[in-house]
């Protein structure tokens, strides 16, 4: 059985250079180049004032640092006259006090906190020994060792006292208060004694186990994967938190137990609340004549969808017809989800909460109930469907003459799998072959223009699985992207870009209207310099001072089809800022677009729903919406996108380990993909599985890490094993509970 993942969206239909977050690799591996001194690089704005409401209040305190204010005095000073403004101010003051930026005096007065050695930030656990505190209060991250963490976990919001440093060394600190827990439930392995147990968390950077008393075991057995809720935190160091088992997934290593534990580890929902399902079922599938009358009728225009063969949620379609002037009218039609999902409805709240669909290797966790995602909103063939469309007039060279945005009704004539569309591109035969080839020709012209303008052409490797009926992986293969995929991608990019440009352009000469943008900053200069050194190990030149887009595109062409392609492209992507959602039109570096939004996948992405609502609001003549409210939704959406990506990677890693479990003793050709003080990581060439050759297994010498040159060196023999070396390895073990693969080095085939 093939993977049920419908692989629509970002990797298929939006740019492959539009990336979200990243997760730890095997054994919590960090990049060898990771310098945590000032790691936000270009993501952090310098020099500009914060003109948000919170920033204005803080600026007022900063202008009078010695003054003690009552709330009434602050209200007058800021010119606040209405009830809504006073309530907003109250919330801002509470947050500033909580963040230790403002002192609360005598319960009703406020003053700027001048103690600069107290910061507020989020915990980023580096390993089980220490964490970094990421804070907007300081340019550099602050390191806190576990004995000073006060049981803070990854993602927790904490208040930290920054300790004095000697001779300009790394800033260190100690947690003085945990302000907000990112979670109170953990997934782990139950280890039982006679009448109590300990849960060993799956998250290997966590530095404590959770004690579970006999009455809180709730049927858990030794070796079970469980979800444990922490019910009591220790009041003194050296103790374990106390927990209660709230869910037993089954024995570690069983398919359902492991997938469910991954879902729980990342806080993914197991089902929709009953009330949400009921609300979805109550939506009529009939389209009233009055609704059709409000829309542009495009039912008679040739229209079709192109999607993965196993997809069910068809959220985009293309239409094409020739105009009298010889140009082409091409419609990008997107499921009109917001027609069915109304603000303040239960469906809306659930969609916002989930923010994205999640695609694990064997299942989809949808953002919307199946009634909507696979039925009402899905642009299935031979059915009339309500859509939100971007319609363009283009010539054969991809030159744009006109554009139109609005609500439509369509009728899809045909549902194509990518393979079927590709066959028509290659042979020119079959139904709608002429239309598909015209679209493909225009798409190629659009793509060429993007690259000429500086877009980056990375083709990242995407691993897929063939599974049997029990979920066991039968094979692993690398997904191949052909012209049919790129055709769809180009028209989705065009629609997303033009929607963003249209809304941005409405603000000429006046206040810019609020919009949800997809933004992507330029690469971090330090990371780029380090990557240049990596590339040089393989004999490739990347000039960090040159035209970055051109340099990276040249590298892409040089490494295409070579063993090091996957490793170098992944490292190049990690030099870049993470793509995110924002109300600030900051542009998209990877696509070389000044303005870009996400409009084309509202079935599976909440930001697209926001973009639909905002666009329609402005088409109706509405004024700008509340920017701060949408910015908060953007932040939430970016966080949930990262969580989804982390969960997807965890499920891929688990299935890779499960597949390799049956290959113990086999030998594979691979490439050294990482070097650390405890071992080297090797990526197998044929299936992209990554494992570790531990230094302790290299018996011919004692090897030491040469971090500056990304290699290990034998103390006696001076034998060198470097990042990028082609090697032969033997599979020694595959630990499904740890999601790790151990290897032994057989020989070095080619040195770099």
Domains and CATH numbers, the chain: 53-112 (1.10.10.10), 117-180 (2.40.50.690), 185-252 (2.40.50.700), 274-484 (no CATH), 499-655 (no CATH), 663-750 (2.40.50.140)
Q: What is the model's pLDDT at position 49? A: 45
Q: Which helix (H) or strand (E) holds 228?
A: strand 224-232
Q: Which residues of the chain have pLDDT under 50?
A: 1-12, 16, 19-49, 167
Phi/psi of residue 4, nearest 5 degrees? -80, -10
Angle between helix 83-98 and helix 53-63 axes, rounded to 10 deg: 70
Edge-to-edge strands, sheet with 328-335: 296-297, 400-411, 384-394, 328-335, 316-322, 303-307, 414-417
Distance between CA atoms of residues 520 and 21, nearest Å: 12
Angle between helix 483-505 and helix 606-619 axes, rounded to 10 deg: 50
Q: What is the model's pLDDT at position 15? A: 53
Q: What is the model's pLDDT at position 564? A: 79
SS3 441: helix
Closest CA to 354 of 156, 633, 627, 596: 633
DSSP-based helix, strand, coil % in the chain, nearest 5: 30, 30, 40
Q: What is the model's pLDDT at position 663? A: 96
The model's pTM: 0.80
Phi/psi of residue 121, nearest 5 degrees? -165, 180
SS3 499: helix
Tell me the per-residue pLDDT of 74-105, one tens digit each, with 9 for 90 and over: 999 999 989 888 999 999 999 888 877 788 88
Distance between CA atoms of residues 386 and 374, nearest Å: 14
DSSP state of 295: S
DSSP state of 524: P
The answer to whether 303 touches 309, Cβ cutoff 8 Å, is: no
Phi/psi of residue 728, nearest 5 degrees? -110, 130
């Amino acid at each position: 059985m093939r993977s049920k993942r419908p692989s629509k969206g970002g990797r298929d239909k939006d740019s492959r250079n539009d990336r979200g977050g990243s997760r730890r690799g095997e054994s919590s591996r960090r990049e060898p180049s990771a310098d945590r001194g000032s790691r936000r690089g270009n993501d952090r704005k310098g020099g500009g004032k914060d003109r948000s409401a919170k920033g204005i209040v803080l600026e007022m305190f900063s202008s009078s640092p010695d003054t003690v204010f009552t709330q009434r005095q602050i209200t007058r000073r800021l010119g606040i006259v209405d009830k809504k403004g006073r309530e907003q101010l109250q919330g801002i003051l509470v947050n500033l006090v909580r963040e230790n930026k403002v002192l609360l005096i005598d319960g009703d007065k406020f003053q700027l906190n001048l103690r600069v050695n107290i910061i507020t930030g989020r915990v980023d656990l580096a390993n089980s020994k220490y964490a970094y505190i990421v804070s907007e209060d300081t340019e550099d991250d602050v390191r806190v060792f576990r004995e000073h963490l006060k049981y803070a976990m990854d993602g927790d919001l904490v208040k930290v006292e920054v300790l004095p440093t000697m001779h300009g060394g790394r800033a260190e600190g100690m947690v003085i208060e945990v302000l907000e827990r990112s979670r109170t439930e953990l997934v782990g392995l139950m280890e039982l004694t006679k009448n109590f147990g300990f849960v060993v968390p799956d998250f290997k950077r966590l530095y404590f186990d959770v004690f579970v008393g006999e009455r809180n075991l709730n049927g858990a057995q030794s070796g079970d994967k469980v979800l444990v809720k922490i019910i009591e935190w220790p009041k003194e160091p050296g103790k374990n938190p106390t927990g209660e088992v709230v869910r037993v997934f089954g024995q570690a290593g069983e398919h359902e137990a492991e997938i469910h534990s991954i879902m729980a580890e990342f806080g993914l929902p197991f089902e929709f609340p009953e009330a949400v399902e009921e609300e979805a079922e109550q939506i009529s599938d009939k389209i009233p004549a009055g609704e059709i009358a409000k829309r542009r009728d495009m039912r008679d225009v040739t229209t079709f969808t192109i999607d993965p063969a196993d997809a069910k949620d068809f959220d985009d379609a293309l239409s094409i017809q020739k105009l009298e002037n010889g140009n082409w009218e091409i419609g990008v039609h997107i499921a009109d989800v917001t027609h069915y999902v109304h603000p303040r409805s239960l469906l809306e709240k659930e969609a916002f909460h989930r923010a994205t669909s999640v695609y694990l290797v064997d299942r989809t966790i949808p953002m919307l109930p199946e009634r909507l995602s696979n039925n009402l909103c899905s642009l299935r063939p031979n059915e009339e469907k309500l859509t939100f469309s971007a319609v363009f007039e283009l010539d054969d060279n991809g030159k744009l003459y006109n554009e139109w945005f609005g609500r439509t009704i369509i009728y899809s004539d045909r549902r194509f799998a990518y393979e079927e569309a590709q066959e028509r591109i290659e042979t020119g035969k079959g139904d709608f072959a002429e239309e598909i080839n015209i679209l493909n020709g225009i798409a190629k012209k659009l793509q060429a223009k993007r690259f000429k303008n500086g877009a980056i052409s990375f083709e990242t490797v995407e691993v897929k699985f063939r599974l049997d009926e029990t979920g066991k992986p039968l094979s692993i293969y690398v997904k191949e992207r052909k012209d049919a995929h790129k055709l769809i991608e180009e028209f989705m990019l065009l629609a997303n870009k033009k929607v963003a440009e249209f809304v941005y352009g409405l603000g000429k000469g006046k206040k810019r209207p609020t919009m949800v943008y997809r933004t992507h900053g330029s690469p971090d200069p330090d990371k780029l310099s380090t990557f240049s050194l990596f590339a040089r190990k393989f004999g490739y030149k990347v000039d960090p001072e040159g035209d970055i887009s051109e340099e990276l595109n040249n590298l892409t062409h040089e490494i295409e089809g070579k063993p090091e392609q996957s490793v170098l492209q992944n490292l190049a992507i990690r030099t870049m800022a993470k793509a995110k959602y924002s109300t600030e039109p900051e542009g998209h570096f990877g696509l070389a677009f000044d303005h870009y939004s996400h409009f084309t996948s509202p079935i599976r992405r909440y930001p697209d729903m926001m973009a639909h609502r905002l666009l329609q609001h402005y088409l109706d003549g509405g004024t700008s919406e509340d920017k701060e409210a949408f910015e908060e939704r953007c932040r939430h959406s970016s966080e949930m996108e990262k969580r989804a990506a982390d969960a997807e990677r965890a499920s891929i890693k688990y299935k890779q380990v499960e597949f390799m479990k049956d290959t113990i003793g086999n030998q594979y050709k691979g490439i050294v993909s990482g070097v650390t003080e405890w071992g080297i990581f090797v990526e197998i060439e044929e299936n992209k599985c990554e494992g570790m050759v531990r230094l302790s297994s290299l018996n011919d010498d004692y090897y030491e890490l040469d971090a500056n040159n990304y290699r290990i060196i034998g103390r006696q023999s001076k034998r060198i094993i470097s990042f990028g070396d082609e090697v032969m390895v033997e599979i020694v073990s595959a630990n499904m509970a740890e999601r790790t693969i151990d290897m032994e080095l057989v020989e070095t085939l080619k040195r770099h």
